[in-house]
Structure 1
Amino acid sequence: MEQEQIWDSEAARRYDTPGTGMFAPEVLGPTVDFLARLAGDGPALEFAIGTGRVAVPLAERGVPVTGIELSAPMVEQLRTKADEATIPVVMGDMATTVAPGKYSLVYLVYNTISNLLTQEEQVQCFRNAARHLRPGGRFVIELGVPELRRLPPGRKATVWHTEDGYIGLDTYDTLRQHLVSHHFHYDESGQARLYRSPHRYIWPSELDLMGQLAGLELESRHADWRGSEFTAESTSHVSVYRLPPEEKSTTSGR
């Protein structure tokens, strides 16, 4: 399934959940605080900006934000919150599309790099981030840790969340490092709606190698946006990669 088919008008319409889920203050607040500190006085670029979940509050903090986005319906939803002058968006994919200018910060949140389904595309995404960064600038990725320890031998699926009206499960293709997330929403009438999204999962060490291939250095890794320690039991991470600053040239005279 192509990404344009996944992030269609229906997905854009139901994406925003103000005050709850990934829009909850306890989730969004630390994310924006973290990114605002890294951006400092410089501009930021969000890959896969979507409906502006992070970009809108970050711009309200005074950080100039530009976006790259593949889905026109998602951008239409963003435009109900911020106009083009406030948050400009370049249409295209995050692996190859170029936005004008250089940035202090490029960021890619909520597992979105895994929407690129090949290792080559994911490496291109890192290189595209490096292409946009000023010397000393940072590329931030939020990504889950593959939970293969929860996958018993011979099984291809795990249930990762259940609650009234919802079941979430993942099916794995471990040969290709692929998984498909299945989201089942149902009501008391017995009617159910299924939403699916394909991903290529990435180990932290593989992610670091992608950074090296793009000329980026791992600066820090934490378990969450609050800076909790990343351990072997962490289920996700926020990783910060830095483009080395330009070395000052030295001249000698006679």
Structure 2
Amino acid sequence: MIDDDGYFGESVAATYDESSAAMFAPETVEPAVDVLAELAGEGRALELGVGTGRIALPLARRGVGVHGIELSRAMADRLRAKPGGEAIGVTIGDFSTARAPGTFSVGYLVFNTIMNLTTQDAQVDCFRTVAGHLEPGGTFVVEVMVPELRKLPPGQNTVPFHVGTDRLGFDTYDVATQAMASHHVKVTEDGEGSFRSIPFRYVWPAELDLMARLAGMRLRDRWEDWGRRPFTADSPKHVSVWEKPAD
């Protein structure tokens, strides 16, 4: 059942940090924070889908003012309960349309969160919303996977991403609509099982560039990762930076 928190209600929020532990590792977090702190400069940062504060909290510790937009009250409550969380303002709402107070030097979406918007219209709205928050010369940063369609032979629509003795994860793709879903199966020691499925919409780099142009922004940089390695045809994801004109 989907509640007012979408797919990230209390049952997910309670174990989110532990289930995504690898994404909280310093070697994963710090390069992202380095880039975002540089782009923020003396200004403020807006995180869309701020979650439990994986990026927002260490960015704030760098002296950057951070405000988040988050649909899930349960996730936002986890953020506020952490040391330093009370200093990060949170607007509860859909980040494709919600308005946060003030303006910002940088807006950002990390860890494939742009794909939580499951229609192209919503993704376009997100770019326009961020552009409306940015100061002249401000930037919008998105970290997102490159769709793994090359792993799909004709007639197959499923790609496993984790196969273990107690957990199974796989993605399903609809190449006609760009709809996809991540499915998670867990089995406990006593044989009890659980299943969770989350819908997404995958999106191509060139498609994102067009969304940015519709919002009045232009591509400034694109890398394979936060370490700024070159983006190539074999890159599994990209970190892209679009800029709002300074004038």
Give the TM-score of the pair, scaled to structure 1: 0.92
- Residue 42 (structure 1) aligned with residue 43 (structure 2): yes
Please tell me whether the aligned partners of residues 57 and 85 of structure 2 are also in contact (alpha carbons under 8 angstroms).
Answer: no
Q: Structure 1 residue 157 and structure 2 residue 146: aligned? A: no
> Distance between the aligned counterparts of 1:187 and 1:85, measured in 2?
36
What SS class does the counterpart of residue 5 from structure 2 fall into? helix
1:80 is the counterpart of 2:75: no
Alignment of 1:123-138 (within 5 A): 123-138=124-139
Counterparts of 1:154 and 1:177, CA distance in 2: 16
Structure 2 unaligned regions, length at least 5: none
* Residue in 1 that maps onto 2:69: 68
Tell me the residue number matched to 2:180: 179
Amino acid of the structure 1 residue aligned with 2:191: G
Structure exhibiting the larger radius of gyration computed from Cα positions: 1
Q: Is the 8 A contact 1:48 1:68 kept in 2?
A: yes
Q: CA deviation at 1:185?
A: 2.3
AA of the residue aligned to 1:168: G
Q: Quick one: structure 1 residues 158 and 37, their matched pair in 2 at CA, closer, same or farther if it must change by over 3 Å?
A: same
> Is the Cα–Cα contact under 8 Å of residues 146 and 201 in structure 1 kept in the other structure?
yes
Give the equivalent residue in structure 1 for 2:196. Answer: 195
Q: Which moved more, 1:192-201 or 1:208-217?
A: 192-201
**Match of 1:37, SS?**
helix
The secondary structure found in structure 1 opposite 2:18 is coil
Q: Distance in 2 between matches of 1:83 and 1:221?
A: 31
- Please list the CA deviations of residues 201-233 of structure 1 after superposition, one character each: whole Å capped at 9, or x if unmatched: 001110100000000100000011111111000
Percent identity reads 50
Q: Partners in 2 of 1:168 and 1:186 — Cα distance?
A: 12
Q: Which moved more, 1:84-93 or 1:40-49?
A: 84-93
Show structure 1 runs of 5+ residues with no match.
247-254
Compute the displacement of 1:84 (Å).
6.8
Q: 2-side partners of 1:37 and 1:81: how far apart?
A: 24
Residues 40 and 64 in structure 2, CA contact (< 8 A), matched pair in contact too: yes
CA distance in 2, matches of 1:223, 1:97: 29
- Which residue is 2:244 aligned to? 243
Q: CA deviation digits over 1:103-146, x for unaligned, max 9? A: 00001111111111110000000000000000000000000001
Aligned residue for 2:153, secondary structure, equals coil
Offset of residue 5 of structure 1: 3.4
More divergent stretch after superposition (26-35 vs 231-240) = 26-35
Whole-angstrom CA distance in 2 between matches of 1:12 and 1:75: 9
User: Number of residue pairs matched?
Assistant: 246
Q: Give the conservation status (yes or no) of the 8 Å contact 1:157–1:172.
A: yes
Deviations 1:73-110 (A, max 9, x none): 01111111156751011111111111111100001111
